[in-house]
Structures are given as C-alpha cells and as structure tokens.
Chain A
Amino acid sequence: MINLTIDGKNVTVPRGTMLLEACRLAGADIPTLCYDPELKLAGSCRMCVVEVEGRRTLAASCVTPAEEGMVVQTESEEVVEARKVILELLLARHRLDCHVCEKDGNCRLQDYCYRYGVKDSRFKGEEPHFYKDDPNPFIERDYDKCIMCTKCVRACAEITGAFAINLKNRGHEVVISTAFDGGLKDSTCVFCGQCVMVCPVGALVSKVEKGRGRDYQTEKVRTICSYCGTGCTLELKVLNDQVVGVNSVRDERLSPVNRGALCVKGRFGWDFVNSKERLTQPLVRKDGELVPVSWDEALDYTASRLKEIKERWGAGSMAVFTSARTTNEENYLAQKLARAVIGTNNVDHCARL
C-alpha cells in the first residue's frame, strides 16, 4: 500500500493505483473527458491534470501512478488555469449550439465550461467543418462538436470489437472517420451505439431519440431488454408516460451481464412500444369482423366459450400457448390457467422455434 496526501487529506491506496483514482477516493471531483474506466488509457485530453509537489509540470492524473509520499493539489490556481486553456482550445473547434443540442444538460464540455466559467474561446479560427452527413437511421455524427477524446474509437474496438471508426488526418484537421470515409452503413459498424454511449458531448447522438426530450427531463427506469436471451440491463427514459429513449447502465453491480454494452435492438429498437399499431382495446369477432368491445364483454365471452368447449369436448381438446416474451409471473399464471382452471397439460411455448 502507498500513502499520499491529496488536498490535505491522507489516503492509502494499493500500489499501481493511478492518481485519478486516488484523488477520487480522497473525495476530489476530477474532471475527465477521454478517461473511461473500461477502456485503454488515452491520457490525451489533459482535463484531469493535478499539481504534484516537486514536479515542474502538471500531471495528467489518469496516467500517473500514485507514489509514496506524494503531495497533490487537485484544484490549485495553476490547475484551474490549465483546465480553462484546455476548454478554450476545445471550444475553438466545437460548434456551440447548446440550445438545440440533444446533450444539453448531460454534456461534459458544457459542465466543465460552466464549472470554470469559460464562455468563449480566444483561439477561435475558422468555423469547424467536420460535420458528416450519414444517412443511417440510428446515429447522427456531428463532428463539428467532436472534442477528439477518441472514446468512441476505443469503445468500438474494445467493447464491441467492430473496428468501424478511427482517427484520420493530423493536427487541426484530425477527425473521426470510417475506413473509407463513408457512412457507417458501408463500414463494419453494427450499430451497437457503444460510441454514442461513451461520447461525452453531442457529437454522437441517437437519431431515434432526437427531439423527444432532454436527458434531464426524463425519468429513468432500470429494466431488462426484451429481445434476446442475453438479458442485458438498460434504462428506459420516460417523459409524459412515453418511452423516449434508452440509456446504458455501466455499473457492473446493476448491470452484471452487459455493463452498459447493448446491441442495435436493445439501444435503438424500443420504439415499437409507442407504435400507433399497438392494440388498445379488446376485440371480438362479430359477423366475421374483429370489432372493439369492452373488457367485460371480451372477458365474459372468452370465459364462457372456454367453459362451453371444455364441457362439450373435454379439457384435452384445449391448449394454451404461453410466451417466451412475457414475464415469469405471466408464464406461471398461463400454465396455471391451463392446468388448474382448464384442466389440461396441453401447454407449451415456442422455446423450440
């Protein structure tokens, strides 16, 4: 174990711990843009710089190992000044349109500019010109807002393994791009949206969620994806009794199966819930047509017909198909209905299909 002092507090951490983690243990709120605990360290944004006594330059805490006896300041004048400069440099090529941005209120760049009072950039040159019109139906790529943290590139490679995107060009012209600079559709992209999940700003957003409500307006409900048997945890975003989006839950204690990773169906496939084609009223066939009726009518009719058939032909002439989609509780009741109420073991579902 190693002992060090952070903002006047003594902390003890295991050898090999990075300063960033040690600082957070000490209760310091270190801003980060390129850091992600699940991805390889980039150490490139330098937002996480701290002052280490006896060192000439500020240290990027995410890539600096904690050492015995270190004395660290996380919010010194010099640190704050450095962070302001970084933010100004980022703003220089970031189109500021927070008023229409999907990420408003949920954007690291906005948060840190607010925190350090950075209003504008003294480094502004020509307007950013990296926007990529990408006609895929899932992900909008507005690189005029990209701050080049490379988290999307790393998530694509290190979580999904799709290797669809990478850095292109150098210096001022550096940008995120697919192999042949085309749309995601023509790359190895599988539209998992892991890149959207990690993007700290509004450069990558879900087209399916666009305009349906800002993150802070929505209530979040943690649940399980309803598509495949993997059973990924996700969070539904709810506004005015409508599902308006899906968030990842990255905490392994809450999302043990997928730690936030999702596939195209889980992340972008929730909209059927709001479909206009949803059934909203019981229907009964009358004169050959299915017509809307009250619940009482539908239920009484169902029960009396089922009873009639049971009396006439016996329980063995009846069957229940339960569902691999509905909950355990509902499956339990469905087989109970078949066995205890109708009186048959003719109950099955499409496990085999």
Chain B
Amino acid sequence: MTNSIKDLEEEAEVIFLIGTNTTENHPVIGYKIRQNVLKRGAKLIVADPRRIELADIAEIYLPFKPGTDIVLLNAMMNVIIKEDLLDEEFIEKRTEGFEELKATVKKYTPEMAEAICGVPAEEIVKAARLYAKADKAAICYSMGVTQHSKGTDNVFAIANLAMLTGNIGKPGSGVNPLRGQNNVQGACDMGGLPDVYTGYQKVEVEENRIKFEKAWGVKLPPEKGLTLTEIINEAVKGNIKAIYIIGENPMLSDPDSRHVEEALDNLEFLVVQDIFLTETALKADVVLPGASFAEKDGTFTNTERRVQRVRKAIKPRGNAKPDWQILCEVASRMGYPMRYDSPEEIFEEIRSLTPSYAGITYERIEKSGIQWPCPHTNHLGTPILHKETFTRGLGKFHPVEYREAAEMPDEEYPLILTTGRSLYHYHTGTMTRRVAAIDQHRPHNEVEINPRTAETYNIKDGDMIKLSTRRGSIKLKAKVTENIKEGIVFTTFHFGEAAANHLTNANSLDPVAKIPEFKLAAAKIEKI
C-alpha cells in the first residue's frame, strides 16, 4: 500500500474498491472502510463481478465482466480528461507521459466500455466524477485485479488513474494493494523473488551483487531466476530436478493441479518443510517439521509495510524446529556454515543489507511496528509513500490497451469461472480446515450461480453439480444467488476435496508478473 490502513478509516473521502472483497479477505480493513462510510460519510465505488458486501453501502456499484478491468479504468480516465477533472498541477510537476495516456484512453468512451464491461455508461461517468472530484480518494485492489493474464497492465491502469487526479502521496489517497497472506509483503521485501535481493535490490545490478557477495562471502549468480509457475513448467519438462518448498502447498494453491502434480512427480528430489502433512508434503522425499507462528520469534510485514514483532508463546510441537533453525542446519551441512543465535541476529544482518529496513530494530518495534522505508534509527517510518517524488523521480503514465482474456467462453464452455477466498477459510485450508470450529461452520465448498443461469441448467439452490473446465471437473454444491452476474460462476480454493485449481488455467500467465489467470476460465456446469 502506498498509504496506511488508518487512512481508509479516518482520511479517505472516496474509496474505489476494485477486485477486492475486503470484508471477507481483509475483514478488519473491511470494518474500517465501513465505519468510514457510517461515521464520516465516505463514499464507495465498488467494481466487482460479484455483489460483495460493501456493494450494499456503496454510492456506485459496477458489476463489470471479469477480465475487462482495463476498459473500465480507461473509460473513467476518458471521462476525467474530457470533463477536465484532472489535477493539472500534479501532472505537470510530478509525472511524464500524459500525452500518450490521453491518446490511448481517447477511444475508451463510456459507451464502448458499456458494451465490453456490461455496466451502464452513465454509471461509469458517475464513478469517474465521484473519484476525480474528491479531495482525498483512495483506490484499493487485491487478487481480483492481479490474477489475470494481464494483471500487470491492470495495475498500471490503476496507477494512471491515481496520478491523473493527483491522488497519490497525500493522506487518504493512494494505490493500495491489499496483500493476501500474513507475510506476503515480507516475503517480497526479503528477496523471496527470483530477480531481487532484500528491499528490491535487483540481482542483475552488479553493484548489488557485489554487496551481497561480500556480505555472504560467496560468488552469486548474475542472471535472475525463474518464477514459481515457470519452475513448475520447467519441472514438467525435466529441467528442474530438485525443489525445496517451505510452508507452501502448490498442490492446492497453484493453477491446474494436475500439472503441478506432474511437475512434482517428475522431480528427482523434493523437500517440504511445513507444519502439516499437506497435499504437497505427501509427494516429498523429505518432510521437515517446522514451527507455527506461535512457536517462534521473528517479524511479519503487513500490507501497509509495517514491520511487526511475532513472539514465541509455546515450544515447537514434538521434535519440530523453527524454520530458521532448519534452514541453518541444511545450509551448514551443505558446506556453508550458517549460524545465528536468534532471529534478532538474522534481522540485524537483514537491516545491514537493506536500506529500507536499516532503521528498524527489535528494540524499536517492541511496542508497535514501523512502516518502511525507515533508513536510520531516528526515522519514524513512512506511512505515506511518494510524498515528494516517486522512486524513479517523475511518475510515468503507462498507457495500457485492452486485450481479451486468454480463455474466453465458447459454445462448449459457455460460462466464466472466477475463484477466490471466503471469510472463514484461508488459502489452501492447511490451517483453517484444521480448526474444528471453523470447519464445522463452513465444511464444504460451494459454487455461486446467478438464478437465471441456474434456471437455464435446471439447477436449484443446494443441488450437487459438476463444474468443469478444459482442465478437469469437480463436484460441489450450488449456491444460487443474485450476488453474482449472469453467466459467471464463483468458487473458492480452500478445499482439497473440491479443489478449484483442478480447473484453473496454468498456461495463461501474465507476461510480466507471471501470475496465473485464476480469476477467469471458461467453464460449464451440469446437475448430477
């Protein structure tokens, strides 16, 4: 997030939510947004193919067709430029590439958008005006925007909209991705990515590499590595021979499970380090028992870049060990002595190599976390990014064009399947499915279907149905609801026995971020 969670509660006057079912996926942020509406009169624009809870209190609800985000966003910019609602001073002083943007969005009239997105042109015009006229308007988005074959373009379009109206670098505004898992921000910050070391220092930049080579005392590979989905593909081809998986369950979380299974089966060696014998661990040659969050010290970084302390409350179960200790042991036994007495010692090394974390110490975050960048120990942290300048100096408009989704509905698979999470379960269910109370409350997967679509197939609420795509099919209960548009069906990926990722498409990756197209696959349903 460029801004803070608190801004959504106490500062923003308009909040544009696109592709985030906030009350289910980030519930506490959802409460705050709702309280901002109830107590301060903030106005919401909700753009989502599903009628999410916050749509009920939204000023404008835009149920657009999945995969048409760019058309919607470009059309809003078209209106803003045409009606001169833009922030000229901001564009002048802080950005470049405006003329190109203007040229690109020109053809995206609200009428054209109506035809493609399936929402009335007037509503798009209203949304554009509401967002652009507010003093402080924030945009929040989540996987609904990024999990497309063109997710990176979607994010560019969002940034364009924010810059066009000067809604960046000030309280209550910003471009705010709501990050899914507890420490997904931290995993990225720590260099858990194929192209960067900690703090997004590129591995391909020699200066960075030399710095890390010095600190770690070894030569480092100069080319960037493969992404997760590429690694799976290469494993299928036989080019990747060994994978060491920590706390992940790609058998359920990755698209097209059969493809993942094929990849894992093809390996010479698979290590899985986890707290449960997950679907993925069952495939491993070695399973190393790690510790849960309650059993170790360390830090997590939340979606607003706040680095917070995690504390050990109990001992690891049985003979399990904290993951950091296991990693040290493996490295040492491979001939690279790795020894730390505590997570704090590791953190000290991190901050010595990571400018944005340099000012953060365990002592400083004992009471309350600090938001990076925090360059030195007298720095209070950064609740709002890009206040004076952007990281690269001027903010660049990246105009983007609409392309059709990789897999469009056809005669055989006439529906659009989109997937996500529910309030009660989490990710692949490794944890929540083992919480008796939660599993008792929500034991089954369901597929949401619009009443008119259901009628076409003679399906009633509660019927067992077969949901299929070109990859495979699963059986699950139908939930007939007006909350979803006609022709679209929605399900979650928490359940091993009815796993949505048997159905999703592994071949249509976003060309830049390599994110699979979870939000969209052509599908069909049948009553069974």
Contact = CB atoms under 8 A, between A and B. Distances in A.
Q: Do A and B bind each other?
A: yes
Interface of A: 136-138, 158-161, 185, 190-192, 207-208, 219, 221-233, 236, 238, 241-243, 253-258, 261-266, 268-273, 275, 277-285, 290, 295, 298-307, 309, 312-313, 315-353
Interface string B240-253: 11111111101001
A344 B321 CA distance: 25
A269 B31 contact: no
Nearest to A233: B308
B26 A230 contact: yes
Contacts of B182: 224-229, 231, 324-325
A138 B246 contact: no
A339 B231 contact: no
A228 B180 contact: yes
B29 to A, nearest CB: 5
Given A138-B437, A243-B294, A320 B246 contact: yes
Contact of A264 (B274, B276, B277, B424): B424
Interface stretch (B85-93, B160-168, B213-221, B396-404): B213-221
Among A222, A263, A298, A331, find the residue whose CB has the most chain B CB atoms closer than 10 A: A331
The 5 closest A-B pairs by CB, nearest first: A280-B318, A231-B302, A327-B298, A345-B225, A323-B247
B116 interface: no
B248 A321 contact: yes
Given A159-B35, A302-B271, A343-B219, 17 more contacts: A161-B38, A191-B441, A192-B31, A230-B5, A230-B27, A257-B304, A279-B290, A302-B286, A305-B242, A317-B242, A318-B243, A323-B192, A332-B198, A334-B327, A345-B225, A350-B253, A353-B254
Contacts of A222: 311
B195 interface: yes
Interface in B283-316: 284-290, 292-304, 306-315
B190 A229 contact: no
B303 A229 contact: yes
A329 B426 CA distance: 23
Nearest to A284: B286
Given A277-B277, A319-B225, A137 B441 contact: yes
18 contacts: A224-B308, A230-B178, A231-B303, A254-B367, A257-B302, A273-B294, A279-B290, A290-B284, A303-B334, A324-B187, A324-B247, A325-B182, A326-B246, A329-B298, A331-B190, A333-B338, A337-B244, A338-B225
Contact of A318 (B183, B242, B303): B242
Contact of A253 (B6, B188, B228, B368): B368
Contacts of A332: 190-191, 198, 346, 349-350
Contacts of B441: 136-138, 185, 191
Q: Which of A261, A324, A325, A337 has the most CB of B within 10 A?
A: A325
Contacts of A270: 294, 435
Contacts of B333: 299-300, 302-304
Nearest to B342: A329
Nearest to B426: A227
B288 A282 contact: yes
Contacts of A242: 314
Contacts of B269: 305-306, 309
Contact of A282 (B31, B287, B349, B430): B287
B329 interface: yes
A309 B183 contact: no
A313 B275 CA distance: 30
Contacts of B246: 320-323, 326, 330, 334
Contacts of A345: 194-195, 203, 221, 223-225
A137 B212 CA distance: 51
B221 A343 contact: yes
Interface stretch (B40-48, B100-108, B125-133, B509-517): B509-517
Contacts of A226: 182, 292-293, 300, 431
Nearest to B305: A231
Contact of A269 (B181, B224, B289, B432): B432
B390 interface: no
B13 interface: no
Given A256-B369, A324-B184, A352-B513, A346 B336 contact: no
Contacts of A253: 367-368
Given A306-B334, A319-B243, A328-B186, A279 B276 contact: yes
Contacts of B217: 340
A307 to B, nearest CB: 6
B309 to A, nearest CB: 7
A263 B299 contact: no
Nearest to B203: A345
Interface string B411-439: 00000000000011010001110111110
